[in-house]
């Protein structure tokens, strides 16, 4: 039953994690897009906190409620979602793509202009969306997954998505997320109570650090955050490897591992997670959505989730065998791999901060596409602003004449 339940949950979760970040990104106010999606992805730690501290309490229960309570709480989150999704509004970009402009204008006015339909941001955003979708459709290259291989820009998008999907799980974080008990056993923390307590504290640490960095994503460049995060992860992992190897060699030599070394490994785990949370925790979904044009946005996120799942399969089958087989030497593999990640991030990742969602996606396709969108929006908005201004002046003139000549209607 539990295996079947995991399959059903995973199937449903695939729809959720594909649609949710796209909807958040497309509904959020322009300056709040990146922080909102980053917070969304960082809130994974909130679920981890509930799971960690629930099991910390229930592992002491000696009857069937030890597994029933975690299962009931897991079902509760789905029930809450089913009850609340009726109040979710539709994406203005999806509405524009279906020629439902009035509905898109209503939603944009309500959430981006504080209910003022004459606010310039409503006009600019809608025209930018229309122009971006028009350009994408006119190219006739964005109709299937094969579109990722038809242009240079789309191929770059594909390889960035591939890198983000695998790097987000193959940076050593999978060891901590899924095999923390094996790591703690290797440094002498074998008590189940101690292990569940450390796991619970670690989840709180992850939530706090990832939320803090989510709120700072607009303060720094995307590349700066990814590079800083990866460099610090590499540094932490190298120190972790050195401490772990020394401890295990002490034990293998017939002695007792140093408590100081064990605490050092534990400290590196916390510092590594903080380093990972600078960029890879909050920005992995945000960055993928930012680089994709509207027509490829959902497909790109599906590919990202596919690559994440493939990476997780490797983690689940390879990591425990390697940890028990070659022990601390397996950490050297991650040291080398994280260095490879650093090189790829430096040469492959592009900068996307400081632009609208449409402009971000157009950066990869070249400045010409971006300039086309900006110029088209400027033409339309200038014309409409001029029309509104002319209309206002005409209305003022009519009002003045009406004051002077009662009963005369000026057209």
Long-range contacts at 305-308 (CB < 8 A, ≥ 24 apart) = 305/14, 305/17, 305/18, 305/165, 306/165, 307/161, 307/162, 307/164, 307/165, 307/166, 308/165, 308/166, 308/168, 308/169
pLDDT over threshold 80, residue 410: no
Quick check: 401 pLDDT over 50? no
Convert the pLDDT of each residue in 345-379 to its tens digit: 999 999 988 766 666 666 777 665 556 666 666 66
The rounded percent of the chain whose pLDDT value lies above 90 is: 45
pLDDT of residue 273: 97
pLDDT at 85: 84
Q: What does the pLDDT look like over 177-222, one tens digit per residue?
A: 889 999 999 999 999 889 989 999 999 999 999 999 999 999 999 9
pLDDT at residue 277 tops 90: yes
* Per-residue CA distances from 251 to 21, 262, 389 (Å): 47, 12, 81
* Structure-model confidence comparison of residues 391 and 93, the more confident one: 93
Tell me, what's the pLDDT at 404? 46
Q: What are phi and psi of 235, to 5 degrees?
A: -60, -45
What angle is formed at CA 19 by the lines to CA 16 and CA 25, rounded to 5 degrees? 130
In this structure, the number of other CB atoms found within 10 A of the CB of residue 83 comes to 9
Would you state the pLDDT for residue 297? 87
Q: Domains plus CATH for the chain? A: 2-92+123-365 (1.20.1250.20)
- C-alpha to C-alpha distance for 313 and 326, rounded to whole angstroms: 20
Say yes or no to pLDDT of 407 above 80.
no
Q: Could you report the per-residue pLDDT of 55-73, keeping only the tens digit for each?
A: 888 888 888 888 888 888 8
Q: Which residues of 353-380 are buried (b: 16+ CB within 10 A; e: fewer)?
A: bebbbbbbbbbbbeeebbebbbebbeeb
Q: What is the pLDDT of residue 76?
A: 87
pLDDT tens track for 28-55? 888 888 999 999 999 988 888 888 888 8
The owner of tokens 């459709």 is 137
Q: In terms of pLDDT, which residue wins out, 385 or 106?
A: 106
Start-to-end CA span in the chain (Å): 76
What pLDDT is recorded for position 51? 85
Nearest to 370 by CA among 345, 350, 385, 344: 350
Q: Looking at 114-128, 300-314, 337-351, which range is the least confident one?
A: 114-128
On the question of pLDDT at 409 being above 60, the answer is no
Instruction: Check residue 230 and give its pLDDT.
Output: 97
The SS3 assignment for 143 reads: coil
DSSP 8-state symbol, 85: G
Structure tokens at 391: 């209309």
């Amino acid at each position: 039953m539990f295996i079947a339940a995991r399959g059903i949950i995973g199937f449903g979760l695939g729809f959720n994690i594909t649609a949710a970040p796209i909807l958040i990104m497309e509904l959020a106010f322009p300056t709040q897009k990146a922080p909102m999606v980053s917070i969304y992805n960082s809130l994974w730690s909130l679920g981890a906190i509930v799971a960690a501290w629930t099991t910390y309490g229930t592992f002491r229960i000696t009857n069937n409620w030890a597994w029933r309570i975690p299962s009931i709480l897991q079902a509760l989150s789905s029930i809450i979602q089913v009850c609340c999704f009726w109040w979710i509004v539709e994406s203005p970009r999806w509405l524009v793509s279906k020629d439902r402009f009035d509905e898109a204008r209503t939603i944009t006015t309500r959430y981006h202009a504080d209910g003022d339909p004459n606010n310039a941001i409503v006009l600019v955003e809608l025209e930018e969306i229309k122009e971006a979708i028009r350009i994408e459709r006119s190219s006739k290259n964005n109709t299937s997954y094969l579109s990722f291989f038809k242009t240079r820009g789309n191929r770059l998008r594909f390889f960035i998505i591939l890198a983000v999907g695998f790097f987000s799980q193959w940076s050593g974080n999978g060891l901590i997320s899924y095999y923390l008990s094996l790591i703690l056993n290797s440094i002498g923390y074998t008590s189940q109570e101690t292990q569940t307590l450390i796991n619970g504290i670690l989840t709180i640490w992850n939530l706090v650090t990832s939320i803090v960095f989510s709120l700072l994503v607009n303060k720094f460049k995307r590349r700066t955050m990814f590079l800083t995060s990866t460099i610090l992860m590499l540094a932490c992992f190298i120190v972790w490897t050195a401490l772990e190897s020394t401890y295990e060699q002490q034990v293998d030599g017939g002695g007792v591992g140093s408590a100081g070394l064990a605490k050092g490994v534990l400290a590196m785990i916390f510092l590594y997670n903080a380093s990972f949370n600078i960029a890879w925790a909050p920005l992995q979904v945000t960055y993928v959505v930012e680089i994709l044009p509207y027509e490829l946005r959902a497909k790109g996120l599906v590919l990202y989730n596919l690559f994440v799942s493939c990476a997780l399969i490797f983690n689940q089958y390879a990591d425990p065998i390697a940890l028990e087989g070659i022990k601390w030497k397996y950490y050297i593999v991650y040291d080398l791999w994280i260095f490879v990640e650093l090189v790829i991030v430096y040469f492959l990742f592009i900068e996307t901060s400081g632009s609208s969602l449409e402009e971000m996606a157009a950066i990869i396709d070249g400045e010409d596409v971006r300039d086309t969108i900006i110029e088209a929006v400027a033409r339309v908005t200038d014309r409409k602003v001029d029309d509104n201004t002319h209309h206002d002046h005409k209305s003022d003139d009519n009002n003045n004449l009406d004051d002077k000549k009662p009963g005369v209607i000026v057209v």
